[in-house]
Amino acid sequence: MLSREENDLLTRTDAGTAAGKYFRRFWLPVLLPTEVPTPDCPPVRVRLLGEDLLAFRDTKGRVGLIDEFCAHRRASLFWGRNEECGLRCVYHGWKFDVNGTCVDMPNEPPEYGFGNKLRTTAYPTREYGGLIWAYMGPPEHEPELPKLEWARVADNQRYISKRFQETNYLQAIEGGIDSSHSNFLHASLDAFRVTDSYVEKVKNSGTLRAKYHLLDKAPRFTVKKTDYGVVIGVRRNAEEDRYYWRLTQFLLPSHTMIPYEKGLAIHGHCWVPRDDQTCWVWTISWNPEAPLSEEEWKTIRDETFVHAQVDPATFRPVRNKANQYLLDREKQRTANMTGIHGFASQDQAIQESMGPVVDRTRERLGTSDTAIIAARRLLLQEIRELGEGREPYTASHGDVYWVRSASLLLKRDVEFDEGARELTKAEV
């Protein structure tokens, strides 16, 4: 449970809010490069941290991210012409470059010299790791880019998708680190009921997750604070002398990783506030050792796991709130818990069902919610410390993101962080 003041503090990210200032200390993913594919291509609208912005790629290939509305009369620059290293408002011809400088003001007498003195809001961008990132904070605090493993692999070893979600970012993060929900929300009926046929099927499974994950529905949580955020160790019973551990990272301000099993692709998310009611969900799958395999591409195409098909213009998922996520009650009766296809859509459906900003004063948490409590407390601590003038350590130390999630079997007397030390190092 949180107090109303704490819930508001965590979930409000517009300019001027405490959490808004905190998020504005980090590079945040804003666009897929394919959204602004070529020089002088059409601009695209970007809503981020409650601000309406416009992205465009100029003649030299640089990506600008500026206030959507013209500094003159506040007309939308979305209708503007992207031409000769600037975006020109079609209302009175004012033109802005990627730095936000007004480089032409043709309807004013040139002797006034207004042009080069006027700037609109503009944020620096970087192309990195298959994404375009933006920094929306004070220039003197520009952070390092996070040295995330997925950002360092070759393009053919990585797939990134983007989707629009109608919840506050925090609800989405909490879903991402809540290991116990997968025993229910993402379970087949056979797995949920632990039928004999299911047990027989997974007994000799090649993957740890299939073999152990669903057989212990009440996992134990351990959290450890780290330089990058929190690592969450989730322990399930395995053989008599061993535990099955799944390690998830929550990396500040809003990255998470799904436990990785050696030899398979790794998956992670970045949950970015669009405004207080909605967020952008960035989902990344990467293979640190080789190009994504045909089997991994099939999982992506079939939307069975973490990626969901979206409208390419709006990034709204094909399965969405308006069409009840294409819920199939017959499938729910006979096949899986939700009747909804794919983990991503299942997550989105249940998180959106809680309302845009869940009232955390009305929760009833238990010890299985330890990871969620840890993430909230860490974020609250960081947000409050920034308010007291202490800059976030992670923002200026990109190297701390050089970690990897893990899942493994350990003898029962071995600490998870010691037993998984080698596995949780990024390698690329």
| Residue 360 engages other proteins in binding (rule: CB under 8 A) | no
List, as own/partner pairs, every contact residues 189-192 make where C-beta atoms lie below 8 angstroms and the sequence separation is at least 24, other chains included: 189/334, 189/335, 189/336, 189/337, 192/337
| Residue 365 engages other proteins in binding (rule: CB under 8 A) | yes
| Antiparallel, parallel or unpaired: β 51-57 and 63-67 | antiparallel
Output 233 or 342, the one with its CB closest to other proteins.
233
What is the closest distance, in whole angstroms, from the C-beta atom of residue 361 to other proteins in the complex?
10
What is the closest distance, in whole angstroms, from the C-beta atom of residue 258 to other proteins in the complex?
20
Radius of gyration of the chain (CA): 23
What is the closest distance, in whole angstroms, from the C-beta atom of residue 350 to other proteins in the complex?
20
**Residue among 222, 237, 277, 332 that touches other proteins (CB under 8 A):** 222
Rounded distance between C-alpha atoms, residue 83 and residue 372, angstroms: 47
With tokens 């600037």, the residue in question is: 86
Rounded distance between C-alpha atoms, residue 162 and residue 59, angstroms: 26
Centre a 10 Å sphere on the Cβ of residue 363 and count the other Cβ atoms it contains: 13
**Residue among 45, 193, 203, 224 that touches other proteins (CB under 8 A):** 224
With tokens 């949180």, the residue in question is: 2
Output 359 or 363, the one with its CB closest to other proteins.
363
| Residue 233 engages other proteins in binding (rule: CB under 8 A) | yes
Helix/strand/coil percentages in the chain, nearest 5: 30, 25, 40
What is the closest distance, in whole angstroms, from the C-beta atom of residue 216 to other proteins in the complex?
13
Applying CB under 8 A, the span of 140-148, 256-264, 299-307, 369-377 interacting with other proteins comes to 369-377
| Residue 223 engages other proteins in binding (rule: CB under 8 A) | yes
Q: What phi and psi, each to the nearest 5 degrees, are found at residue 109?
A: -55, 135
**Residue among 350, 373, 423, 426 that touches other proteins (CB under 8 A):** 373
What is the closest distance, in whole angstroms, from the C-beta atom of residue 409 to other proteins in the complex?
14
What is the closest distance, in whole angstroms, from the C-beta atom of residue 235 to other proteins in the complex?
6
169-177 vs 4-11: helix crossing angle, rounded to 10? 100
> What is the DSSP annotation of 236-255?
EE-STTEEEEEEEEEETTTE
Output 86 or 259, the one with its CB closest to other proteins.
259
Applying CB under 8 A, the span of 11-19, 82-90, 134-142, 215-223 interacting with other proteins comes to 215-223
- The DSSP symbol for 324 reads G
Name the helix (H) or strand (E) containing 128.
strand 125-128
Applying CB under 8 A, the span of 42-50, 126-134, 172-180, 377-385 interacting with other proteins comes to 377-385
Site for other proteins in 288-347 (CB under 8 A): none
| Residue 412 engages other proteins in binding (rule: CB under 8 A) | yes
422 φψ region: left (φ > 0), alpha (ψ -120 to 50), beta (else): alpha
Centre a 10 Å sphere on the Cβ of residue 388 and count the other Cβ atoms it contains: 6
Q: In this structure, are residues 124 and 134 in contact, taking their beta carbons and an 8 Å threshold?
A: yes
What is the closest distance, in whole angstroms, from the C-beta atom of residue 364 to other proteins in the complex?
4
Output 159 or 221, the one with its CB closest to other proteins.
221
Site for other proteins in 85-144 (CB under 8 A): none
Q: In this structure, are residues 132 and 55 in contact, taking their beta carbons and an 8 Å threshold?
A: yes
Applying CB under 8 A, the span of 185-193, 280-288, 290-298, 410-418 interacting with other proteins comes to 410-418
Q: Applying CB under 8 A, what is the total number of residues that bind other proteins? A: 28
Q: Which residues bind other proteins (CB under 8 A)?
A: 1, 3, 6, 220-225, 233, 235, 243, 363-367, 369-370, 373-374, 377-378, 381, 412-413, 415-416
